[in-house]
């Protein structure tokens, strides 16, 4: 399989309508997705000193982070207002080749930075709430 371009790995926000339309959060430079599962430790004295985990007992979650240049005020106000409102909104992560993860996420932080001789940047962090669907794409 050929390497994929990072430029095609995008965070998209839903519009909240009944026929959801997703729009790319503008001016992203980096996007990351973390798929997590917490373990349920069932180790006891009969475990012979080895940790034992409960199969299927973990809590699954996803975390998304995105960062970029503050160019599109509309995208940034959307993310910022959702963070301040503490709402659960639909988002997509789209990979090169069409694979997507989609579900309800809460924006838990938004940060802005700017050096006196550099660009104005932003970063945002999101965490999932409920099931996240996976849509297989091409290669």
Dihedral angle computed from the Cα positions of residues 8, 137, 129 and 82, in that order, rounded to the nearest 10 degrees: 40
Residues 6 or more apart in contact with residue 41 via CB below 8 angstroms: 51, 52, 53, 54
d(CA 137, CA 123): 27
The pLDDT of 18-30, averaged and rounded, is: 90
- pLDDT of 124 > 90? The answer is yes
- pLDDT single digits (tens) 38-61: 999 999 999 999 999 999 888 999
* CATH code matching the domain that covers 6-14+23-34+56-134, chosen among 3.40.1440.60, 4.10.410.40, 2.40.50.100, 3.40.50.1820: 4.10.410.40
Q: Report the pLDDT averaged over residues 118-130.
A: 94
Containing 41, the helix (H) or strand (E) segment is: none
pLDDT band at 8 (very low <50, low <70, confident <90, very high): confident
**Average pLDDT of the chain to the nearest whole number:** 91
Q: What angle do CA 6, 73, 77 make, to 5 degrees?
A: 95
Q: Identify the pLDDT of residue 131.
A: 95
Domain ranges of the chain: 6-14+23-34+56-134
pLDDT in tens, 90-102: 999 999 888 999 9
| Over residues 123-138, mean pLDDT | 92
Contact 26, 75 (CB under 8 A): yes
Cα(64)–Cα(12) distance, integer angstroms: 11
Q: Mean pLDDT throughout 67-71?
A: 91
CB 17 within 8 A of CB 43: no
């Amino acid at each position: 399989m050929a390497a994929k371009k990072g430029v095609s790995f995008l965070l998209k926000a839903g519009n909240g309508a009944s026929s959801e339309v997703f729009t790319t959060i503008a001016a992203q430079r980096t996007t990351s997705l973390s798929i997590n599962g917490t373990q349920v430790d069932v180790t006891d004295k009969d475990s012979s000193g080895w940790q034992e985990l409960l199969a299927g007992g973990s809590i699954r979650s996803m975390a998304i982070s995105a960062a970029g240049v503050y160019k599109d005020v509309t995208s940034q106000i959307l993310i910022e207002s959702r963070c301040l409102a503490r709402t659960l909104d639909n988002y997509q992560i789209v990979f090169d080749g069409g694979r997507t993860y989609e579900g309800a996420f809460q924006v838990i932080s938004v940060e802005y930075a700017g050096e006196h001789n550099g660009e104005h940047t932003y970063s945002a962090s999101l965490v999932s709430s409920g099931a996240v669907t996976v849509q297989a794409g091409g290669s």
